[in-house]
Structure 1
Amino acid sequence: MDVTITPLKCLVRIMFLHLFSCFVLLMITAMVSIADDTYTSTFQSLRDGQTHVSTGGTFELGFFTPEGASNKRYVGIWYKNIPVNTVVWVANRDTPLTDSSGVLKITSPGILVLVDHNKTVWSSNTSSPAQNPVAQLLDSGNLVVIDKSDNVDPSAESFLWQSFDYPGNTLLPGMKLGRNTITGFKWFMSSWKSPQDPSQGNYTFQNGPKGYAEQIMMEGSVMKFRTGPWNGIRFSGAPHLSPNPIYTYNLLFDHDEEYYSYKLLNRSILSRLVLAQDGLVHRYTWIDRTQEWFLHLTAQLDSCDTYALCGAYGVCNIENSPACGCLKGFSPKYPKDWEVMDWSNGCVRKTPLSCNGDIFQKYYGVKLPSTEQSWFNTSMNIKECEMKCTKNCSCTAYSNLYISQGGTGCRMWFGDLIDITIRNFTKNGEDLYIRMAASELPTDNTKINGQKVRIVLIITSMLSTSLLIFLTIYLRKKQHQKHGKVWSSKKEDLELPLFDVASIIYATNNFSENNKLGQGGFGSVFKGMLRDGREVAVKRLSKHSRQGLDEFKNEIMHIAKLQHRNLVKLHGCCIQEDEMILIYEFMPNKSLDFFIFDHTKSMSLDWRKRFDIINGIARGLLYLHQDSRLRVIHRDLKAGNILLDSEFIPKISDFGLARSLGGNETRAETNRVVGTYGYMSPEYAIDGFYSTKSDVFSFGVSVLEIISGKRNRGFYNPDHSLNLLGHAWKLYTQGRSIELLDTSVGDSTIRLEEVLRSVHVGLLCVQQNPEDRPSMSAAVLMLSGEGALPQPQKPGFYTERNLSEIKVDAAPKPCSANEVTFTLLEAR
């Protein structure tokens, strides 16, 4: 056998051995890497230029330089896999490095130190020494020090030190805001000085003093904002803090600790709470689709959240102008200051307290006063609380401690009451009972020495009759004459201002035709100017309108107490001399259909305005369905019932057909189907079943109409005989949804992803099966860009129409501002 090795064979063997060696080396390296990662990927030192990634790849630790601060280096933690550089924690925030010579390492006792040219710039601490200390970045974003010799499970939180104990301007899921009640150690947030300077800024956000169970914002040593005390469900001044699909939250009292914390319901979602340089607290959620942080909410709602804006015994209501006023039985301490909008000195009592015989005025759904001078007891009920406060002459107010489970606990205030805000909460709001002199005129639900005094507000009229008796008798008479029915009026439904006929005649110039805004089956609407200068819309019930009487009752029962920026505000009513009149805030831009269905006027609605209108309607409906005192179903949501203010902010109006669901009800049935063709859901129009999902269907129709500028009913397209819903569905299935957009929308404001998402959400809302439609809370999140959207099914009322015998104009004539609302009576 010839065993001669040719040069070629030699070369091949050498190459093979080299490749095999490389392969073995790579395998060994991989095994070492895997072994290290299995042991939670720890490290003992980190130089500038090196990074350490959390086990799940969510966060990264390393050295960085803030944009615009080229000569400063910091050790920080940031999100690993998003393009927007987002730092969530900084070690040496107050002692930056000036070059790239820094090293972060573990010393033998188990202390993290940042060394620069052999000089310690920053260090952690430890409560006990460790034999083999190592550092590790958890996938929660928590940098921890553990003793490797103890084989510690990081999930057990047996850490020698952790960065979560020292938040910066960012609160991540699992971090705490609060205190250890034994050691006094506090967890708090502190702002950056600027985006280029992570050193501690002027603001801190923390829990209030021990036992007060509220969060406060401090600018230096001055309080700027407070959330109000925890009521078992949320903070009393934080109505926007409500259950949501992104995170859960709680105020926990755990052994020797009391703290606020939150956790994500879906770990694939990125969400963070940030204290900005200006002292505002924002929550951001990362949206993959847009590749940007979405501002989910801001803790401070408006100027009424400015601490003590209205001074002692002042009350702030953003719906009023000016926002500050005095509590009942109080007047400005320095009236001249109030004339120039300086409310800081607050209000004083008109009548001094006498202790014995004092009364307690009840305020509904308020942000409770500052708790700095308060006392609480968790075991007392509200009756016991009332008795204790009544007997203590120094007690100025009392309230429940918790509103969950029917209301438990007692909180009492001593001294001046500061930082009260009225927001007309209709869900999870709290009641506050404020001590007043007995000589002050008591109103409904006033308490005198623990006994409720049922005194109804007196209206001045020719007969000087009680409002309650007058209204009840009048309406019963009207009902008996027109329907043979009796409407039993509840006094709590009548808490709104009463106007006399003379003032309405003056305001409308005797219901002049020149002041007429529109007319419907209920009667007419007129523009008016009250004597105090307020512009109003006056809705006058026709004396011959059967449906209008029902509308009138529903407006009083459903909208009188509802307060939301996307609901039209009811100023009051007039029931006198055979007149039944409702007085609303005036909307200068009329109704939505006045714009979107007119080719010329629709040009003033660019995409930005249309998208804001869609979102405003969604938030208004969400309030009705979820946050109002009862679950209100509008039943006649349409473009004609969406009014627009001077800034094109949408306001849902006309609650004449609304119904309420109480308790755990989710739907109801009626023999009297009422609504408007083209907007009614199939299950309601056909079977009489209505629910919140009925409104969702109407909302979906409205969304598609706003986008397209076309009415659903009477829609015409030369290529098919589908209505607008069918047309939108057809375009969607062909990947041509953008063609639905009204051609009058200018290109400059169009955001393609928002248009496509809005069409998608609209189609989800008009699906045939109510269970397939999203809730309004889900729809609001979908519109904001929260996550992937499910695929819609065919819309309800999708079948093609036979238009062969129907004359349809390609350019329909202008319609009235209000489509016909119909009533269908069915035997059952």
Structure 2
Amino acid sequence: MQCNKSGQGDTITPTQFIKHGDTIVSSRGTFELAPVTNKYGVLKVIRPGLIVLLNDTNATVWSTNSSKSVQNPVAQLLDTGNFVVRDANDPNPENFLWQSFDYPTDTLLEGMKLGTDLVTGLERYLTSWRSSDDPAPGNYTYHCDPTGYPQNLMRKGANVTFRAGPWNGIRWSGAPNLVNNSIISFGVVMNSRVQGWVNYHSAVVDDCDTYKLCGAYGTCNILSDPFCQCLDKFEPKHPDDWERSDWSSGCVRKIPLNCTGDGFIKYSGVKLPDTRNSWFNETMTLDECRVVCLRNCSCMGYTNLDIRNGGSGCLIWIEELVDIRQLSQSGQDIYIRMSASDIDSAGSKGKTTVILAIALPLLVALILLGLGVGLILCKRKRREDPVLTTTGRLGGHSNKNDNSNQIHQENFELPLFDLLTLTNATNNFSFADKIGEGGFGQVYKGVLEGGQEVAVKRLSETSEQGLHEFKNEVKCIAKLQHRNLVKLLGCCIQGEEKMLVYEYLPNRSLELYIFDEERSALLDWPKRFNIINGIVRGLMYLHQDSRLRIIHRDLKASNVLLDIEMNPKISDFGMARSFRGDETGANTRRVVGTYGYMSPEYAVEGIFSVKSDVFSFGVLVLEIVSGKKNRRFVHPDHHLNLLGHVSTVTPNESRGQAKHVNCDYDAEQ
């Protein structure tokens, strides 16, 4: 084998045919598996136009595949990173017999494509490695699926786990943060010959990106609790399953369709549904799209194919709409087929609005009176409720109906940060510095002028509970100091901006490790035991040793952060409640927290106590030990979650003799 350097890259010249029995069957090649187990592998190029890899026994391990036979093939590694086979006599240097860019493995380089060549049938897709040191194909693949209207899908085996949503001319509908800028650009190429994607960015994935989490006609909102809700005018198909936080059965219309007199209701701000059962036309108007959908009783919804310049094209869905999520920004409109009764109901609401508008002048005096009364009540509540002021003090509270707040009769000092300081520290709250998001708002990594790294939790303008959580978190942990609690460094209150500043923990949340196949390998059993032990110490401090008895009420893997040495720190006290030393629990009408971690008496009756945190801790321990999520646990023999599985099997299961029994949970045990 002779290697020459050329301006196009390294060249491998042809050798003689390989004589190895029936190893090479045709110019396309069919080869047996014979892995290279030592350093004696040989790479050759042969005259039909093939590259072959041989092991030390001259058995073929791997080969390129070409339907064209040439007499003078050469193999080249181009400057782009593309390894190609071409005919040296061909005047067109880009007429490749085979190229590595058609098989991108786990990395997409500039010039590669994802998608299917509709002429040759070749599909280009990404494949994960089996492990960090084993490049064999793993369980995950990432495809541009051309079924219906093209969209990007991630699969684990044959099952879809994530869907980026269809291309709308500007972005993928399920990834509103991916927009073209001065550094990167992306788009879709789609014509009669090829369909492919060009992507130079990655999307942030959260629980609502789990494929079909809420079932048909269910919508997922990461800021709501629970995540899944039925679309307006829909209801759960199996209410009992939804009570158990199993939303996979989805929703159905309250009033069924009959295909006569049906119409459409507009739903806004959503990630568009799965488009594998869809049809599209690039030239139709939205009105023409509506007519086409209305004529087909199987058409369940429609929208514009391209949202640029006021919208154009037609995209319609056949049969059920699945994998919808609510987006706080950049969501799209979709028109969903509804019964005539639902359409009339929506129209009657419009008429009611008109009547109210006409009657509005007659109600001015009453409204002014109401505003006056409201102002008086607001001032009275302000005197009674603790308010964070620009002095950084948390005032007293005299609400007799809330025993947990009666202890706050003294002022708490808390350092204040200037808005400009935090803006500079987070690069103007750039997307690149965003490290998390929750019901309160978004969390950013920041670096102060002195070099100190901090985590800045910024109250979202759309957050409904954020202000309550902001005040509650300061009240609960402003003076708590423990090695297993995240330290609150200060806050910022300036205009409409409200932010909390914490110590920065580089390893982020426990959830990122125990549920990830690769990262979980970093947590050996001593580390897992240390994490469990640290959480226990933090809880004991909250429940017994701190000046206030604190019940966290939202203990879960994502609320346990890890420092540089993988020591755990409990975070996010927005849902917490504080008590006097002789109080151990209470009852509430407002149940908050995360389903799957809530104790039964709290989820059903609103009764919470230190035992509620202990229950959540038990679920967390099972997740740390097993590496499985309680609400995502799957077993071939039953539909129980992880907690139900553990509590209903006998020791015989280890011998393959699982026996399920009924167990009643005693809140006092």
Normalised by the length of structure 1, the TM-score is 0.46
**1:594-622 deviation line (CA, Å, top 9, x unaligned):** 99xxxx99999x99988xx99xx9xxxxx
Which residue of 624, 642, 647 corresponds with 2:498? 642
Determine whether 1:190 maps to 2:127: yes
What is the aligned partner in structure 2 of residue 79 from structure 1? none
Distance 1:173 1:455, change over 3 A: farther
What is the aligned partner in structure 1 of residue 79 from structure 2? 139
Cα offset for 1:441? 7.5
Question: Aligned residues, how many?
Answer: 435
The aligned runs of 1:636-785 (5 Å cut-off) are 638=494, 641-644=497-500
Which residue of 342, 359, 362 corresponds with 2:246? 342
Contact 1:108 1:130 in 2 (8 A): yes
Distance 1:363 1:152, change over 3 A: same
Cα offset for 1:526? 11
Distance 1:234 1:527, change over 3 A: farther
Determine whether 1:330 maps to 2:186: no
Q: What SS does structure 1 have at the residue aligned with 2:317?
A: strand
Contact 1:42 1:134 in 2 (8 A): yes
Q: What SS does structure 1 have at the residue aligned with 2:275?
A: coil
Letter in 2 for 1:373: N
Distance 1:255 1:414, change over 3 A: closer
Letter in 2 for 1:587: F
Determine whether 1:170 maps to 2:107: yes
Determine whether 1:511 maps to 2:511: no
Higher gyration radius (CA): 1
The aligned runs of 1:308-323 (5 Å cut-off) are 308-323=212-227
What is the aligned partner in structure 1 of residue 43 from structure 2? 104
Q: What SS does structure 1 have at the residue aligned with 2:381?
A: coil
Partner Cα separation in structure 1 for residue 302 and residue 396 of structure 2: 45
Q: What SS does structure 1 have at the residue aligned with 2:168?
A: coil
The aligned runs of 1:69-468 (5 Å cut-off) are 96-116=35-55, 117-150=57-90, 152-153=92-93, 157-262=94-199, 297=202, 299=203, 301-425=205-329, 427=330, 429-440=331-342, 454-455=350-351, 466=356
**1:12-41 deviation line (CA, Å, top 9, x unaligned):** xxxxxxxxxxxxxxxxxxxx99x8333633
Letter in 1 for 2:317: W
Q: What SS does structure 1 have at the residue aligned with 2:309?
A: helix
Partner Cα separation in structure 1 for residue 398 and residue 167 of structure 2: 43
What is the aligned partner in structure 2 of residue 42 from structure 1? 11
Letter in 2 for 1:396: M
**1:622-648 deviation line (CA, Å, top 9, x unaligned):** xxxxxxxxxxxxxxx959833229999
The aligned runs of 1:454-533 (5 Å cut-off) are 454-455=350-351, 466=356, 511=381, 513-518=383-388
Partner Cα separation in structure 2 for residue 526 and residue 442 of structure 1: 52
Partner Cα separation in structure 1 for residue 398 and residue 267 of structure 2: 31
Distance 1:372 1:145, change over 3 A: same
Cα offset for 1:398? 0.9
Distance 1:607 1:316, change over 3 A: closer
Letter in 2 for 1:104: L
Give unmatched runs, 5+ long, in structure 2. Answer: 16-30, 406-438, 443-457, 506-562, 566-669
Contact 1:247 1:262 in 2 (8 A): no
Partner Cα separation in structure 1 for residue 84 and residue 73 of structure 2: 10
Partner Cα separation in structure 2 for residue 563 and residue 112 of structure 1: 57
**1:405-424 deviation line (CA, Å, top 9, x unaligned):** 22111111121111111113
Distance 1:132 1:447, change over 3 A: farther
Partner Cα separation in structure 1 for residue 185 and residue 291 of structure 2: 36
Distance 1:527 1:329, change over 3 A: farther
Letter in 2 for 1:308: K
Q: What SS does structure 2 have at the residue aligned with 1:114?
A: strand
Distance 1:400 1:645, change over 3 A: farther
Contact 2:290 2:302 in 1 (8 A): yes
Distance 1:359 1:99, change over 3 A: same
Q: What SS does structure 2 have at the residue aligned with 1:42?
A: strand
Contact 2:384 2:398 in 1 (8 A): no
What is the aligned partner in structure 2 of residue 25 from structure 1? none
Cα offset for 1:173? 1.7
Q: What SS does structure 2 have at the residue aligned with 1:588?
A: helix
Contact 1:424 1:563 in 2 (8 A): no
Partner Cα separation in structure 2 for residue 406 and residue 393 of structure 1: 28
Letter in 2 for 1:174: G
**1:330-376 deviation line (CA, Å, top 9, x unaligned):** 11111111111111111122111233333422111211111122211
Identity of aligned residues (%): 39
Letter in 1 for 2:332: E
**1:761-787 deviation line (CA, Å, top 9, x unaligned):** xxxxxxxxxxxxxxxxxxxxxxxxxxx
Contact 1:164 1:175 in 2 (8 A): yes
Q: What SS does structure 2 have at the residue aligned with 1:396?
A: strand
Cα offset for 1:170? 1.4
Letter in 1 for 2:105: G
Give unmatched runs, 5+ long, in structure 1. Answer: 1-31, 47-91, 264-282, 284-296, 459-464, 483-499, 536-561, 573-581, 618-636, 650-747, 751-828
The aligned runs of 1:30-69 (5 Å cut-off) are 36-38=5-7, 40-44=9-13
Normalised by the length of structure 2, the TM-score is 0.55
Distance 1:255 1:347, change over 3 A: closer
Distance 1:148 1:337, change over 3 A: same
Letter in 2 for 1:515: D
Contact 2:53 2:63 in 1 (8 A): yes
**1:706-728 deviation line (CA, Å, top 9, x unaligned):** xxxxxxxxxxxxxxxxxxxxxxx
